């Protein structure tokens, strides 16, 4: 059960009292300024830890730090953040399938290669899926077309293709998520399996070079519908298709260590549009933060994990309107009595605290 439903939404009065009590220092954000910016942060104590009945692993608590614009026409299937103001994105949905280089601050596409330009459709368009960066090469999967593409990261020039499933095997039949631990590719196919792949052998032979696999399980059994993946500090983070959840997975045992329940981020999306399921995880290693978004989501969020086995209260906060210039640090940690007329409560940005 969500802690939101357990506790109920706090009132604005409670939020104001907590805000007046204390304010925290500004979080360290990526190198570009997000919109909106946190002006004051509320601190409170999380409820006692307890195991949620609907999930087979503890809930992972987190802080929501910032948001950035994201193309609402992007059916996000994969994200890679390499630092600075750039990330790479794979978008799906048949003829809209592409590989993109995107500016973080604005969400503007700086470079794009449509999959249909290098892989003309047969009876239907190919459907692009997850991506992973290995050295200077980006590996991209397709959903049901049985092949992947290898690109040069800097030019998007095609450098090779590979097919799957490998000869003599029935799985993986489909391509879903993809990430890299630095030496191996890690792939999902919508089942409870994660596949470990040799990228060098894959590029050399043109066939998916499987070197291992693991079944992902939590306390309730196998966890299916594993989708977009990100390798973070020795763990695999996986979106769960049809649920706004991210699983933290031990790559050796396949055990789910915790879940991140991000469904409340939907309340922070601008009205309108057609936001689909949460999908897309990228790791900002320099700041130890995650960038997350969804299919056709107009917003990309920056979150930071808290220690395991804590819950969060979901409270509103005060934000500074984007018209005010200056770095994030200069506007954070503002005492409640010093907020100006240009600072107001905004339902578009909440601070998840603990």
Range in 32-46, 68-82, 150-164, 248-262 the model is least confident about: 32-46
37-57 residue pLDDT tens? 332 232 222 233 333 447 899
Q: Are residues 111 and 158 in the same domain?
A: yes
Percent of the chain with pLDDT over 90: 69
What is the C-alpha separation between 159 and 308, in angstroms, rounded?
41
- pTM of the shown model: 0.77
Q: Are residues 292 and 333 in the same domain?
A: no
Q: What residues make up the domain containing 29?
A: 1-48+311-354
Are residues 43 and 55 in contact, defined by beta-carbon separation less than 8 angstroms?
no
Residue 305: C-alpha distances to residues 3, 63, 244, 281, 346 (Å): 16, 6, 16, 13, 23
CA 76 to chain centre: 10
What is the C-alpha separation between 139 and 176, in angstroms, rounded?
12
Q: What average pLDDT score do residues 136-155 get? A: 98
Q: Give the number of domains in the chain.
A: 2
Q: Are residues 43 and 124 in the same domain?
A: no
Q: Are residues 258 and 189 in the same domain?
A: yes
Q: Are residues 253 and 192 in the same domain?
A: yes
218-232 residue pLDDT tens? 999 999 999 999 999
H-type alpha helices, 255-332: 328-331
Q: Are residues 231 and 327 in the same domain?
A: no
Instruction: Flag whether 53 is in a domain.
Output: no
Are residues 22 and 58 in contact, defined by beta-carbon separation less than 8 angstroms?
no
Q: Are residues 30 and 151 in the same domain?
A: no
**Phi, then psi, of 325 in degrees rounded to 5:** -90, 165
Q: Are residues 201 and 215 in the same domain?
A: yes
Q: Are residues 139 and 10 in the same domain?
A: no
Q: Are residues 109 and 229 in the same domain?
A: yes
Q: Assign 12 to helix, strand or coil.
A: helix
Are residues 354 and 310 in contact, defined by beta-carbon separation less than 8 angstroms?
yes
């Amino acid at each position: 059960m969500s802690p939101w439903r357990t506790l109920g939404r706090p009132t604005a009065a409670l939020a104001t009292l907590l805000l007046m009590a204390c304010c925290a220092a500004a979080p360290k954000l990526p190198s570009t300024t997000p919109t909106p910016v946190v002006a004051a942060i509320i601190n409170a104590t999380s409820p006692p830890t307890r195991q949620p009945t609907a999930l087979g692993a503890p809930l992972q608590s987190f802080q929501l730090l910032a948001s950035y614009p994201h193309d609402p026409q992007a059916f996000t299937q994969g994200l890679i953040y390499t630092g600075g103001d750039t990330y790479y994105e794979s978008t799906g949905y048949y003829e809209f399938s592409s590989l993109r280089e995107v500016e973080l601050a604005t969400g503007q596409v700086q470079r794009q290669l449509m999959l249909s330009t290098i892989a003309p459709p047969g009876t239907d368009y190919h459907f692009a899926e997850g991506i992973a960066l290995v050295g200077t090469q980006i590996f991209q999967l397709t959903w049901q077309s049985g092949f992947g593409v290898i690109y040069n990261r800097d030019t998007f020039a095609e450098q090779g293709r590979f097919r799957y499933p490998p000869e003599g095997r029935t799985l993986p039949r489909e391509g879903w998520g993809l990430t890299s631990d630095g030496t191996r590719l890690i792939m999902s196919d919508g089942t409870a399996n994660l596949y470990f792949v040799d990228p060098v052998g894959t590029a050399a032979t043109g066939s998916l070079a499987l070197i291992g696999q693991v079944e992902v399980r939590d306390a309730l059994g196998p966890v299916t519908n594993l989708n977009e993946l990100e390798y973070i500090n020795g763990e695999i983070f996986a979106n769960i298709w049809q649920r706004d959840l991210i699983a933290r997975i031990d790559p050796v045992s396949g055990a789910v260590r915790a879940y991140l329940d991000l469904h409340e981020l939907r309340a922070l999306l601008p009205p309108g549009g057609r936001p689909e399921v949460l999908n897309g995880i990228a790791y900002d290693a320099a700041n130890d933060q995650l960038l997350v978004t969804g299919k056709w989501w107009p917003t990309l969020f920056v979150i930071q994990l808290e220690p395991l086995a804590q819950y969060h209260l979901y409270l509103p906060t005060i934000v500074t309107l984007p018209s005010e210039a200056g770095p994030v640090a200069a506007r954070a940690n503002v005492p409640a009595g010093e907020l100006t007329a240009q600072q107001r409560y905004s339902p578009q940005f909440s601070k998840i605290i603990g």
